Structure 1
Amino acid sequence: MSYSQGSHRASPVAGVPGAQPPPDAYTAYDLDLYDAVTATATAVAPLPVPLSPPPPAAGGRAAARHAARRRGQSGGGSAGIRCRNRLVPLVPQALVVAFLAGGAAAFVASDKAVRLSVDGTPRTLHTYADDVAELLADEGVVTGAHDLVSPAVGEPLADGDEVVVRYGRPLTLTLDGRRRRVWTTARTVDGALRQLGVRAEGAYLSASRSAPISREGMTLLVRTERAVTFMADGRERTVRTNAATVRGALAAAGIVLRGEDTASAPLDSFPRDGQTITVMRITGSRQVREEAIPFQTVETLDDTLFAGTEAVVRQGRPGARRVTYALRTVNGVLQKPRKLSDEVVRAPVAQLVRVGTRPRPTSIADVDGLNWQALAECESGGRPGAVDSSGTYGGLYQLDRQTWRTLGGEGVAQDASSEEQTRRAKKLYVQRGAAPWPHCGRRLYR
């Protein structure tokens, strides 16, 4: 670049020879140049009035510098610096050289070599961005609430820095039977499990550990390895399993259920770590029993009988039912039988009894109308001298020695005449009714 005095035009700015007024709009590069020229000129001939800087371009100085650099790649002149299609007159060569050296140094200082890794893909680039947010904006990297940016977006950027961006991925995770939705920045199943602190050794996974997780996410089923203890056949067995059910854990332990065998936990339930489950060996059988059905007693009031006297009209008869029970033994211990069916094979017959309401007799004459002959036939077969096999009871009405003497008799009843025995039996009836003859007393009322 050359400089000649004849080409210098009068300066409209008082006191600054050769200085040009600031253009209406500046590029960043033009702005730096203007600042340098003005500063140099002012040092030679101070201005009476301070020179105000031009208004900054929209987007700030950083944005202006970026725009200027893009335009400057194709521009530049041999006679001067172009600003809005006008040439800034050349300044003395020494000032221009100083300006160019300072501008170049400023541009070199603001250029940074950084390493940017986006979702595992790294690259090294040069940038004039002042912070991480500006770098990501320049590179068109958009992040969300679940994404990871390190350093944070507001941190300043220096030469040699590394910026890491990891996108968040939704993961619908069912872990040991519990379902939840989580976010992870890992790109593979293995990385997500490590990030979430899930122990994958020995676990069942619905996808391989190396399977990628897309930005849209994935659904993953994980069953970790658990220790389950079984008490079976008098033994204790502990196994490590990732089975989904108690039934599967039993199979892993080599325990076979047969017939009605079961366990203390539902076979389709999820086995938990540290759980103890008892296996119950069950045998079953059936038993049929015949059981009596008691008969009912139907009483009828009868004013022809003395009060306190009962006469059985029809003897009751119990019925019978056939009952089937299920018998169950659990680990050799018989459980309470369970009724399966109940069938009546013979209906009971009710007993009919007449209950006397007539006032009790006060004399022997009041009981003369009773059937004493029928009572004697029932008790002794109508034989006055009859004695039972034990020798305790005797006579027509089978009276013992003590009762006979209480009634005023002498000796024993079987030695007295039939008339005396009947008279004393009537006296006994006046005192006690038919109670002394529990089986044959009802014959008196026939």
Structure 2
Amino acid sequence: MALGVSGVVVMDKSVALSVDGEKSTVHAFGGTVGDVLDKQGIDLGPHDVVTPSADSPVDDGQTIVVRYGRKLTVTVDGKEREYWTTATTVGDALKQLGIRNGDGAVLSASRSQSIGRKGLDLRVSTPKEIKLLVGGKRSTATVTATTVEDALTQAEVRYDSNDLIKPGASASVKDGMTIRLDRVNRKPGTRTEAIPFETVVKQDSSLYEGTTKVEQEGRAGSRTSTYSFTYKNGDVVFSKRTSTKVTQQPVDKIVRQGTKARPAPKPKPAPAPEPTSQPKASTPKASTPKASTPKASTPAPEPTSSSSSSGLDTSRAAMWDRIAQCESTGNWSINSGNGYYGGLQFDIQTWLGAGGGDFAQRADLATREEQITVANRVYADRGLQPWGCAHAA
């Protein structure tokens, strides 16, 4: 009986068991480390570590160490990798895996934080030099942020929802990248604007065709408009009118346009002796004794004529002024392009036929006195019949 008890005592071995640092003493009757673990209900996975190995024999007083494997997902500046470690703290895991985060790096968990059996996700952000272009002003900053939004916060750049960020706020931060932020704001404002006047043309049967007369001058109006202005970095990039108030109405310009038909030009009259003698008197030959005949020195046959040594006949000047006022509003140099010229509206045929060529090729190129002289020549032959405004005489 004593021998049987002695045999049992010999087979019982005292073993120190350490599981993830938790120590206990167990009695083992098996022959291997694996037998001891099985008796304690410890199942080993492919990433777990046991020392000595599971097939090693067990000696009395031996220490068995079990370390469970833990999945550690490490994301460094947005790049993710998976590791298996038997370390129970973040610091030991980084050391065990040989992961160096560098000076100034920021961890999402402290180095002393424990790693449970379910593992841990760890984010590591290393320092990055970035360039900033904020509101048109350049600067640099060193940040450990992983997103543009966090980088701006670390760089103490304030912004609101109206501002434009490029790249987007959720974009990843990379060393040396440029982050641009445009300041955008909206403000109301007013503008005073001119309102152009309209030109109204009215037909007037009292004026000859081709002539116009301004009855009323136009005047621009004004209005005050309220706008919503959009500014980007202080410059206006968009404006939208929200309201308008007319402060002064424009005044139309009124122009009367002649519709009265001009009289048809009359046939060329037969040249009178008096007009034909005048060109000779105005030529250099007139200074010779032969040209100074009594007949050549008489400019017009009319007894009411007011003649001068220059060959001008300005008699009836007041009458011709009245007719010119009706024919051309008193414009002695008018050329409306309708075939009638000057204050008394001579056509080319009548002007040259009455000796107007003594003074100019067309009536509008001659002086008032020269036009009256030619008119008196026509009057001597045909009276006021050629003029549509004879009634104004």
Length-normalised TM-score, structure 2: 0.45
TM-score by length of 1: 0.41
Q: Which structure has the greater CA radius of gyration?
A: 1
Higher relative contact order (CA 8 A, sep 6+): 2
